[in-house]
Amino acid sequence: MPKNNNPILPGQTIGIIGGGQLGRMMAIAAKYMGYHIAVLDPTSNCPTSQVADKQITGAYDDRQAIKELTETVDVVTYEFENVDLTAATYIEKKGKLPQGAYALEITQNREKEKQLMKDLGLPIPDFAIVTSGSECEEALKAFSFPAVIKTCSGGYDGKGQIKLNSREDTQQAVAFAEKNTHCIIEEWVAFDKEISVVFTRAESGEIIIFPIAENDHKNHILYQTQVPARISEDVQKKAYKAAEKLAEKMNVVGTFAIEMFVQGEEIFLNEMAPRPHNSGHYTIEACNISQFAQHIRAIAGLPLTPITLLAPAAMINILGEDLDGVLKALPKVEDGFVHLYGKVEAKSKRKMGHTTFIAETREEIQSQISRFEEAKR
Ligand code: AMP
């Protein structure tokens, strides 16, 4: 594993497991610094391979492909949490996975994730784990509604969960639990806002936190992130403290994100991601260092850069259905930093890119967004 006295330096090669947009933006940050990039992904011409030096085309759990990646590169990172655990452990044992396998093990499983938060005394919604329809029916008797049932593994962007509005939804939940076997039921938090804490931890244990982001979702998919988040100093302190506690306990290295609900002056932790996060994309233009560049510094064993927010920002995701409008607006407006990820097919609800707006005031950002929206028509 790279230590500060043995860092990975430009000219050496970083391997990335997963060739999506997060891998692509990590790779771009690393290329700026002069690193070489190899990516492992089953799909050729994936977003990361378009900016990488080399692609190993193979499944994430293909032993041969993992071995080839490990042998080709000086350090390995991952861009998503569903990395095969056997593969991650293999790379870690070879001393080339500073992020470690443990953070994956926890974040791949909502039960382990919530249990760890609970063990650390962190505020979370009440929850119950159920492994069958009958256990679900029994557990729901003790819940007030609304509640939500989620699969313990494999869910993202609202997939693999249903909101239970009233006791009448019990049978729907029972069928869901019967089908998915291992599920978590959570109390529904009537939150005022959702925030995320994106931070980076170095191998030395140093933690540097990006400004907290305020997130709006549409159809369970992140729609917009605004920075700075409109939260009190007290909420900010609570969020920082929770993030530091988790980071230290999990011994994470690299950029990491924790999503939280804010209700009044209270926070409730929702979920975490052991990698750069959609709600941290604003850092590319709005901070002196991006979540991706800081991630590269951490996994390369370089000291972290102190963070400055250069200006307030808003980031809006571009989904498949928005792409034509964005391309229409681009030649007409001056504002908005458009990032497209090079995905070949613009499917509905698929994240194709994002646009970041920065300005001195929130009002000016809002006017930029309105002008952009107008130009899309
Ligand atoms: P998740 O996949 O857990 O991040 O959930 C996706 C979205 O569903 C969250 O960003 C929230 O908007 C909503 N959600 C999930 N769990 C809860 C909860 N316990 N209370 C309120 N809203 C929730």
Helices 85-93 and 63-72: crossing angle, nearest 10°? 30
Report the separation in Å between the CA atom of 158 and the middle of ligand 1, taken as the mean of its atom positions. 8
125 lines ligand 1 (CB under 6 A): yes
**Residues 286, 313: contact at Cβ < 8 Å?**
yes
User: Which residue bears the tokens 């700026």?
Assistant: 32
Residue nearest to atom 1 of ligand 1 (CA): 158
Report the separation in Å between the CA atom of 178 and the middle of ligand 1, taken as the mean of its atom positions. 21
Residue nearest to atom 18 of ligand 1 (CA): 188
What is the structure's pLDDT at 5?
A: 66
What is the structure's pLDDT at 159?
A: 78
For the CA of 110, the closest atom of ligand 1 is: 3
- Backbone dihedral angles phi then psi of residue 260, each to the nearest 5 degrees: -140, 155
Look at residues 330, 256, 289 and name the one whose alpha carbon lies nearest to residue 106: 256
Q: Token digits for 234?
A: 């007290």
What is the structure's pLDDT at 82?
A: 87
Pocket mutation for ligand 1, best pick of 220, 258, 269 (most atoms within 8 Å of C-beta): 220
Q: Report CA torsion sign: 134, 135, 141, 147.
A: negative
Q: What is the pLDDT along the chain (377 residues), one digit of tens a residue?
A: 444 568 999 999 999 999 999 999 999 999 999 999 999 999 999 999 999 999 999 999 999 999 999 999 999 999 999 899 999 999 999 999 999 999 999 999 999 999 999 999 999 999 999 999 999 999 999 999 999 999 999 877 677 899 999 999 999 999 999 999 899 999 999 999 999 999 999 999 999 999 999 999 998 899 999 999 999 999 999 999 999 999 999 999 999 999 999 999 999 999 999 999 999 999 999 999 999 999 999 999 999 999 999 999 999 999 999 999 999 999 999 999 999 999 999 999 999 999 999 999 999 999 999 999 999 99
What is the structure's pLDDT at 2?
A: 44
Return the ∠ at Cα 237 (arms to 234 and 242), rounded to 5°: 130
Q: Please state the pTM of the whole predicted model.
A: 0.96
Helices (H) and strands (E) in the chain, counts: 12, 17
67 lines ligand 1 (CB under 6 A): no
For the CA of 147, the closest atom of ligand 1 is: 19
Structural domains of the chain ordered from first start = 13-97 (3.40.50.20), 126-187 (3.30.1490.20), 193-375 (3.30.470.20)
Pocket mutation for ligand 1, best pick of 109, 148, 263 (most atoms within 8 Å of C-beta): 148
For the CA of 160, the closest atom of ligand 1 is: 2
Q: Report the alpha-carbon distance of residue 357 to residue 245 in Å, rounded.
A: 32
Paired with 163 in beta bridges are 148
Length of the chain: 377
